[in-house]
Amino acid sequence: MGMNMTEKILAMHAGHEKVSAGQLVTCKLDMVLANDVTAPPSFKEFEKIGGPVFDNKKIALVPDHFTPNKDIKSAGLAKTVREFADKHSIVNYFEVGRGGIEHVILPEMGIVAPGMLTIGADSHTCTYGALGGFSTGVGTTDLAVALATGEAWFKVPETIKVELTGTKPHNITGKDVILTLIGMIGVDGALYKAIEFSGEGISSLSMDDRLTISNMAIEAGGKNGIFPVDEVTLAYIKDRIKKSYTVVEPDTDAKYCQIIKINLSDLVPVVAFPHLPGNTKKVSEIENIKIDQVVIGSCTNGRIEDMKIAAAIMKNRSVYKDVRCIVIPGSQWVYKESIKRGYVDIFVDAGAAVSTPTCGPCLGAHMGILAAGEKCVSTTNRNFRGRMGHVDSEVYLSGPQVAAASAVLGRIAQPDDLQ
- Angle between helix axes 39-49 and 72-87 (nearest 10 degrees) is 40
Q: Nearer Cβ to another protein, position 23 or 206? A: 23
Q: Note if the bond before 275 is cis, omega within 30 degrees.
A: yes
List residues bridging with 261 in a β-sheet.
Answer: 163
Angle, alpha carbons 99-104-109 (nearest 5°): 65
* Cβ 301 vs Cβ 399: under 8 Å: yes
Q: Which is nearer to another protein, 233 or 293 (CB)?
A: 293
The rounded distance, in Å, linking the Cα atoms of 398 and 376 is 10
Q: Tell the smallest beta-carbon distance from residue 79 to another protein (Å).
A: 12
Q: Tell me phi and psi for residue 15, to 5 degrees.
A: 75, 25
Q: Where are any strands of DSSP class E within 244-306?
A: 258-263, 270-272, 280-282, 293-297
| Residue number, 30 or 102, with CB nearest to another protein | 102
Least Cβ distance, residue 261 to another protein (angstroms):
24
3-state helix, strand, coil split of the chain in percent (to 5) is: 35, 20, 40
Q: How far is the CB of 400 from another protein (least distance, A)?
A: 23
For the bound state, the minimum distance from the C-beta of residue 52 to another protein, rounded and expressed in Å, comes to 14
> For another protein, which is the closer residue by CB, 75 or 286?
75
Q: Provide the minimum distance between the beta carbon of 388 and another protein in the complex, in angstroms, as a whole number.
A: 9
Rg, the chain, Cα only:
20
Q: Residues with Cβ < 8 Å from 149, sequence gap 6 or more?
A: 49, 54
Of 52 and 76, which has the nearer Cβ to another protein? 76
Measured distance CA(262)–CA(351) in Å, rounded: 38
Q: Which of 145, 327 has the CB closer to another protein?
A: 145
- Compute the least distance from the CB of residue 45 to another protein, in Å: 6
Residues in touch with another protein (CB under 8 A): 22, 24, 37-38, 40-41, 44-45, 48-49, 65-66, 70-71, 73-74, 76-77, 120-123, 125, 137-142, 144-145, 148-149, 153, 155, 187-188, 191-192, 218, 221, 223, 276, 363-365, 382, 384-387, 391
In the complex, the smallest distance separating the C-beta of residue 14 from another protein, rounded to whole angstroms, is 13
State the number of CA atoms in the 13 A half-sphere of 282 facing the CB: 5
| Closer CB to another protein, 126 or 131, in the complex | 126
Residue among 381 and 401 whose Cβ is closer to another protein: 381
Kindly state the smallest distance separating residue 247's Cβ from another protein, in Å.
27
323/178 Cα distance (integer angstroms): 27
Residues sharing a CB contact under 8 Å with residue 396, sequence separation 6 or more, in sequence order:
271, 272, 273, 274, 289, 291, 375, 376, 377, 378, 383, 412
CA separation for the pair 251, 61 (Å, rounded): 35
Of 36 and 176, which CB lies nearer to another protein in the complex structure?
36
Instruction: Report the C-alpha gap between 389 and 306 in whole angstroms.
Output: 24
